[in-house]
Amino acid sequence: MSDILKALLAIAPILNKGLVYDCMIGVTDTEKFLAYYPGGNLDLKIKPGDPLRPGSINHTAIVEKKRVKKWIPRELYGIPYIAVGYPIVDKGEVVGCLATGISTDREERLQAMSDELAGTLENLMFNTEQISSASVQLASTTQDMGSSTAQVKEKIEETSKMSELIRHVSSQTNILGINAAIEAARAGTHGRGFSVVANEIRKLSDSTSSSTQSIATHLQEMNQLVTAVSKEMDRVNQFTLQQSSQIQELFSVIQRLHRMAEDLRGLAKID
């Protein structure tokens, strides 16, 4: 037996226990296994003397005379792992192979978790962006409504001034009606027709005064309501702007988390 193979057989159990990673180790000659040491959670049930199977990593490394690395899926042995076969060369000839295997079960689970996390964050990022856009639009709408409310308030004030003007005209008309009635009374029989007109003028003045007073009352109530609505709109606008700012900050945080998840996905990727 080659001296190199003897040395490997001596050091193999030490490597099996001394490496940082839980590692499966096998030593073969060109036909069969000379030694096999399973990992803590990776055991292919190989026994010394078992022949090398054509196409196995050991057989391939010996035939091709080069280092061979393969990822073995979970479906074959119930646990995924990465296997490396390294041909042992002594005096220019391949005399055997050193095979190692490390379970990738944890990495595979981490990969699945990072994929799920990245997907969840992508969905959350999309929804947050939609909410942010809607929040900005809502803020714009409340600002427009606030502007419209201010315009309504201005119109109410203008209408109130017009109502006050009508009330003043009504008052003056009433005075004219009284003066006309007095003059009609002085005119006696000749002023009866004028007296009727004077009375009608006074009735119209009283009716107009009553209507303008009612309008003024309604305008005052409308003005109070519009003022209250305007204040609430200001509060809603401030809240919406604040919420929009907070959503933007949340979106920024989610973006950073997504980048971290992508980095984690890269680190968990099995080469």
| Digit-coded pLDDT (tens) for 16-75 | 776 767 788 999 999 999 999 988 778 888 899 999 999 889 999 999 999 999 888 888
Domain 3-103 belongs in CATH node 3.10.20.740: no
- Name which CATH class applies to 110-268: mainly alpha
pLDDT digit string (tens) for 117-143? 777 777 777 777 777 777 777 777 766
CA distance 212 to 270: 85
Sheet holding 93-103, edge to edge: 33-37, 23-28, 93-103, 81-90, 68-72
Same fold, 3-103 and 110-268: no
DSSP 159-225: HHHHHHHHHHHHHHHHHHHHHHHHHHHHHGGGGHHHHHHHHHHHHHHHHHHHHHHHHHHHHHHHHHH
Distance CA 74, CA 107 (A): 12
Domains of the chain: which residue ranges? 3-103, 110-268
Cα–Cα nearest to 57, from 46, 47, 72: 72
